[in-house]
C-alpha cells in the first residue's frame, strides 16, 4: 500500500477526520484551515512519542492510539482551552494493515471522547514514532498559565497521583498483579482521561495551572519558577489510589506520586475563596499543599519538617552528575 492510499484508508476515512466546529478545511490539501471566533485565541501544543522511550515496543497499537492523543490533549486541558482539532505525523518502520487499523481505531475512539477532529499530518518511513499537534480555543486573556500562583493560594491536583508510574512495571511486563490491581493501573497508563472539563471550570478561578507529566515535584518546580513563589507539598495529603497502595505499599506509592511521570492530572493553585465552591460543584479537587512567598518546592511531613528528596522527575538529555 502506498503512502496516499494508506492515508486515505486509515486516517482520512476515520470518523474523527470528517471535520467539526472550527475546521474550515480538513485532510487532503496542502494545509488545513482552522477558524477561531473573534475574541478567542488558538492554543497549540505538540507532543512526540518515541518507541522504546515513551511506550514499550512492541505494544498494543489500539492502546497506543488512545494514549498518544490523550497525552497531547492533556496540555490543552491544562491551559483551560477547548480542544477542537489535531494533526498526526506518523513514522512507521513498515506498513502493517492490522497495526494501522488498530492504531487508527484507538486514535479515533480518543478523538471522539475529546471531541477533536483529525485535520492533517504526515506519514513517513523510519523508526516508530508519532508527533501529535493539538489545537484548542480559549477566550482572550483567560488561558491558565504557570505564572499566576499567589502566596496564600491552595496547591491542588485534579485526581489521584502515581498511577502512571505505578503501572510501568506492569506495562513493561516486569511484574504481574491481580486484575483488581492491574486493571485500574493499566487503564490509567494506556487511556489517561485529559481533564478538559476541569480545565474549563478553572478558567478565571485558578491562579496557575499545568498538567503533571514529568512527576509532581518536578512540575511544581515549573509553577514555582514561573510564578516567583515557593510551593509547599504535604506528603500526607497526596491522593493515592487503593490499587497503587496495594501494588507498591504506601511508601513506594508516595514516591511514585511525587517523582513518577505520566499522571496527566491537572496541578493548579486556587485562592481559598474559590476552593469550597468548586468542591461543592463536585469537581475532584484535592488540596495537597500551599503557595507561600519565596522560591522552590519543599516536601513537608505531617509535623511540617522539610523532607524534600534530591531527585525529582524525568528529564531527557539530563547528564548524571
Contact call for residue 28 and ligand ADP (CB under 6 A): yes
Contacted entry of Mg ion, ligand ADP, none for residue 99, CB cut-off 5 to 8 Å set by kind: none
Strand partners of residue 221:
none
What is residue 268's three-state secondary structure? strand
Read off the DSSP letter of residue 53: T
Of 65, 83, 121, 221, the one binding ligand ADP (CB under 6 A) is 121
* 227 carries a ligand binding annotation: no
Q: Where are the beta strands (DSSP E) in the chain?
A: 23-25, 33-34, 40-50, 82-92, 117-125, 129-139, 154-157, 209-211, 230-234, 266-270, 286-292, 296-300
Contact call for residue 29 and Mg ion (CB under 5 A): no
Q: What is the nearest approach in angstroms of Mg ion to the Cβ of residue 130?
A: 20
Return the C-alpha cell found at 8. Answer: 486515505
Among left, alpha and beta (phi > 0; psi -120 to 50; other), residue 292 is beta
Contacted entry of ligand ADP, Mg ion, none for residue 76, CB cut-off 5 to 8 Å set by kind: none
Nearer of residues 85 and 198 to ligand ADP, judged by Cβ: 85
What is residue 24's three-state secondary structure? strand
Three-state SS string over 220-247 comes to HHHHHHHHCCEEEEEHHHCCCCHHHHHH
Contact call for residue 296 and ligand ADP (CB under 6 A): no
Burial class (CB in 10 A: 0-12, 13-18, 19+), 194: buried
Size of the site for ligand ADP (CB under 6 A): 13
Stretch that binds ligand ADP, among 27-35, 74-82, 190-198, 258-266 (CB under 6 A): 27-35
In the complex, residue closest to Mg ion by CB: 30
Of 122, 178, 180, 197, the one binding ligand ADP (CB under 6 A) is 122
Of 2, 30, 280, 319, the one binding Mg ion (CB under 5 A) is 30
* 262 carries a ligand binding annotation: yes
DSSP string, 80-104: T-EEEEEEEEEEESS--HHHHHHHH
- Name which of 119, 108, 124, 114 is nearest 83 in CA terms: 114
CA 208 vs. chain centroid, Å, equals 16
Stretch that binds ligand ADP, among 120-128, 136-144, 205-213, 292-300 (CB under 6 A): 120-128
Nearer of residues 30 and 306 to Mg ion, judged by Cβ: 30
Among left, alpha and beta (phi > 0; psi -120 to 50; other), residue 26 is beta
Contact call for residue 7 and ligand ADP (CB under 6 A): yes
Q: What is the nearest approach in angstroms of Mg ion to the Cβ of residue 25?
A: 13
Contact call for residue 88 and ligand ADP (CB under 6 A): yes
Nearer of residues 25 and 36 to ligand ADP, judged by Cβ: 25
Give the footprint of Mg ion on this chain (CB under 5 A).
Answer: 30
Give the footprint of ligand ADP on this chain (CB under 6 A).
Answer: 7, 11, 27-30, 88, 90, 118, 120-123
Bind-site residues: 30, 45-47, 54, 75, 121-122, 146, 211, 213-214, 262, 314
Amino acid at each position: 500500500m502506498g503512502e496516499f492510499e494508506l492515508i486515505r484508508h486509515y486516517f482520512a476515512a476515520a470518523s474523527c477526520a470528517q471535520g467539526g466546529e472550527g475546521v474550515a478545511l480538513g485532510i487532503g490539501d496542502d494545509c488545513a484551515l482552522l477558524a477561531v471566533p473573534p475574541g478567542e485565541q488558538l492554543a497549540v501544543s505538540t507532543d512526540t512519542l518515541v518507541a522504546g522511550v515513551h511506550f514499550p515496543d512492541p505494544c498494543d497499537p489500539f492502546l497506543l492510539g488512545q494514549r498518544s492523543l490523550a497525552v497531547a490533549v492533556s496540555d490543552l486541558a491544562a491551559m483551560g482551552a477547548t480542544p477542537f482539532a489535531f494533526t498526526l505525523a506518523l513514522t512507521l518502520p513498515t506498513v502493517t494493515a492490522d497495526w494501522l487499523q488498530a492504531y487508527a481505531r484507538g486514535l479515533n475512539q480518543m478523538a471522539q471522547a475529546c471531541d477533536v477532529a483529525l485535520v492533517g499530518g504526515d506519514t513517513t518511513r523510519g523508526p516508530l514514532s508519532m508527533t501529535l499537534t493539538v489545537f484548542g480555543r480559549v477566550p482572550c486573556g483567560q488561558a491558565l498559565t504557570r505564572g499566576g500562583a499567589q502566596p496564600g493560594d491552595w496547591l491542588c491536583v485534579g485526581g489521584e497521583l502515581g498511577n502512571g508510574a505505578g503501572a510501568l512495571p506492569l506495562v513493561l511486563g516486569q511484574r504481574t498483579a491481580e486484575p483488581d490491581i492491574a486493571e485500574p493501573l493499566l487503564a490509567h497508563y494506556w487511556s489517561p482521561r485529559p481533564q478538559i472539563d476541569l480545565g474549563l471550570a478553572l478558567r478565571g478561578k485558578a491562579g496557575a495551572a499545568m498538567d503533571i507529566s514529568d512527576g509532581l515535584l518536578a512540575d511544581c518546580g515549573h509553577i514555582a519558577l514561573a510564578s516567583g513563589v515557593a510551593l509547599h507539598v504535604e506528603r500526607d495529603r497526596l491522593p493515592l489510589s487503593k490499587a497503587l497502595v496495594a501494588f507498591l505499599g504506601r511508601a513506594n506509592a508516595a514516591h511514585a506520586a511525587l517523582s513518577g511521570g505520566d499522571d496527566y492530572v491537572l496541578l493548579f493553585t486556587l485562592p481559598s475563596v474559590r476552593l469550597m465552591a468548586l468542591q461543592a460543584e463536585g469537581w475532584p479537587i484535592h488540596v495537597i499543599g500551599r503557595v507561600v512567598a519565596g522560591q522552590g518546592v519543599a516536601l513537608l511531613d505531617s509535623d511540617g519538617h522539610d523532607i524534600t528528596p534530591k531527585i525529582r522527575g524525568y528529564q531527557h538529555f539530563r547528564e548524571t552528575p
